[in-house]
Amino acid sequence: VDDGIFWSNWLEDLLPVRFTEGYAEAWRSKARTSPVVKLEPGCGRISNQLATFADGTKACVRYGINADQVQGETLTYYLASLLGITNLPPLVLSQLTGDSAQWVAVRTRVNNLQWSDRAVVSLTEWISNLTGVVTPAPLRQESGGLHPALGCFENKTTAELLELMQWSDLIVFDYLTANFDRLVSNLFSLQWDPHVMERDTNNLLKTPHGNLVFIDNEAGLVHGFRVLNMWEKYHHSVLSSVCVFRRRTMQRVAELHRRRDSRQRLLELYRDNEPLSQELGFLSDEHAAVLQDRIDQVYKHVMQCKEKYNQQTST
């Protein structure tokens, strides 16, 4: 740990980036135009489908039961880009128009699914060979959390430290987006299921190289903000459990806190990269203000951690 609360630079430099900016851009470009030749059940809830493109690659298609879901998934993806968090599979939007060359081969299937014409759906890259992820011991309720002074880094392998570093990003990210459908829902379930933390975490997978993959982010931002009152004490509890952060992520958070322009920056990134952004829409002014407030709360929490631990010797 450097400066009391940041993961060491040497550790950050060891983390392989699964979805680089160039990789994501190339995938999005291909996915916008590739014909879908097959749709089958998969990718979570029944309204989602696993799509196969003409070249054999696959994507998860999210047809929102309501507009919040596709919008939440999409804006969460672009917020991750803004923060430099590269654990989310690339995403594009597509419109189900009757004359679309992309969907013509599966038109009958689309009709049978009763997907409405002109609906905007999201496509995210489907990744093979992923495994489930159990919440690490330091982040479970019976532990003291991920704090520099608690000795939770002793006897850890480099691979375990790299995973904990990604968890610290995940916790900050899910707090910002108010995504309750991952660690927070597990925390909520503890009241009647004491072993929930020992099982795989919702909507979180891992590659053979150790990258965590944050999937199914539809509860983020829009829906998560609507139901904030129900979940906020759990969000706060999870954020409070972490006092070690990635320096690069916190530099972005600090900048958004200082400039107070998260709405403008997110909107510009979204509009510049997603041709269907106008059709899907953006955060309401109220929700944009909630996002800025949550950025401010994370910054405040990091400063409190720094004040508490910065005096201690770097290890």
Q: Three-class SS string for 97-164?
A: CCCCCCCHHHHHHHHHCCCCCCCEEEEEECCCCCEEEECCHHHCCCCCCECHHHCCCCCCCHHHHHHH
Nearest to 277 by CA among 100, 53, 95, 48: 95
Half-sphere exposure of 52 (CA within 13 A, CB side): 10
Per the model's pLDDT, the better-predicted residue between 29 and 98 turns out to be: 29
How far, in Å, CA of 103 to CA of 51, rounded?
A: 10
Percent of the chain surpassing pLDDT 90: 77
Nearest to 178 by CA among 301, 296, 71, 291: 291
Backbone angles phi, psi at 16, to 5 degrees: -70, 135
Section 178-205 average pLDDT: 87
Per the model's pLDDT, the better-predicted residue between 183 and 122 turns out to be: 122
According to the model, what pLDDT value does residue 314 have?
43
Supply the DSSP symbol for 34: P
According to the model, what pLDDT value does residue 46 have?
82
Instruction: For residue 315, name the pLDDT band (cuts at 50, 70, 90).
Output: very low
Alpha-carbon distances, residue 225 vs 120, 151, 180, 290 (angstroms): 21, 35, 10, 7
Kind and range of the H or E element at 185?
helix 183-189
Ranges assigned E (strand) in 155-216: 200-206, 212-214
Whether pLDDT at 4 is above 90 = no
Whether pLDDT at 58 is above 80 = yes
According to the model, what pLDDT value does residue 313 have?
42
- Contact residues for 194 (Cβ-Cβ < 8 A; gap 6+): none
- Evaluate the CA torsion angle 188, 189, 195, 201 in order and state its sign: negative
- Share the mean pLDDT of the chain: 92
According to the model, what pLDDT value does residue 139 have?
87
